[in-house]
């Protein structure tokens, strides 16, 4: 599943003329497209490094807000962008426990900068490849998909 580039998820308040990301038709369409497959955990994986540290976290928060609007229920965000090897087991257990009260979006760091990204993405029900247009290398994106496993990815998301 590929969609047109989404607007930035940004954490700041948009100008009055702009809708917040979770109210944009692009985020809503993307959220709805994710509902065609059953999942409780969805990993958001940067295609490569070269983006802000909170790149996938901002996307996860916007998608969670979109999802809560749609479902009328909790959609959790788990921040694994700075997860350490020592905290991996506890993090995984917390994510698993959180699925009792709603789906969990897992924001990950680039696999080249954090060794736990690959195993966390592999244990999630599925993953989305997050691409920052004009800032990420295609060769790194291919390596990310190969390392995690192409079958794990249910789509990609391109953001400006």
Distance CA 96, CA 51 (A): 28
DSSP characters over 112-157 = TT-TTHHHHHHHSSEEEEEEETTTS-HHHHHHHHHHH-GGGEEEEE
CA angle 99, 100, 106 (to 5 degrees): 10
Cα 38 to the chain's mean position, in Å?
Answer: 16
Q: What is the mean pLDDT of each run of 10 residues along the chain (160 residues)?
A: 46 51 82 93 94 92 94 95 96 96 97 95 97 85 96 92
**CA–CA distance, 68 with 90 (Å, rounded to integer):** 26
Is residue 96 a contact partner of residue 104, using CB atoms and an 8 Å limit? no
Could you tell me the pTM of the whole model? 0.87
The pLDDT score that the predictor gives to residue 115 is: 96
Domains of the chain: 24-147 (3.40.50)
CB atoms closer than 10 angstroms to residue 19 = 11
60: tokens are 């996860």
Per-residue confidence (pLDDT) for residue 11, from 0 to 100 = 44
| pLDDT for the residue 138 | 86
Report the relative pairing of strands 153-159 and 126-132 from DSSP bridges. Answer: parallel
């Amino acid at each position: 599943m590929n969609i047109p580039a989404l607007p930035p998820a940004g954490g700041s308040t948009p100008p009055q003329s702009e809708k917040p990301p979770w109210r944009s038709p692009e985020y809503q369409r993307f959220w709805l497209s994710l509902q065609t497959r059953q999942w409780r955990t969805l990993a958001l994986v940067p295609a490569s490094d070269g983006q802000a540290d909170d790149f996938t976290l901002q996307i996860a928060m916007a998608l969670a807000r979109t999802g809560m609007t749609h479902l009328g229920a909790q959609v959790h965000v788990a921040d694994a962008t700075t997860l350490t090897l020592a905290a991996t087991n506890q993090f995984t257990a917390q994510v698993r426990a959180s699925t009792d009260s709603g789906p969990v979006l897992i924001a990950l760091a680039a696999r080249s900068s954090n060794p736990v990204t690959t195993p966390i993405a592999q244990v999630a029900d599925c993953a989305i490849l997050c691409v920052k247009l004009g800032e990420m290398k295609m060769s790194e994106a291919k390596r990310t998909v190969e390392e995690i496993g192409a079958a794990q990815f249910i789509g990609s998301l391109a953001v400006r």
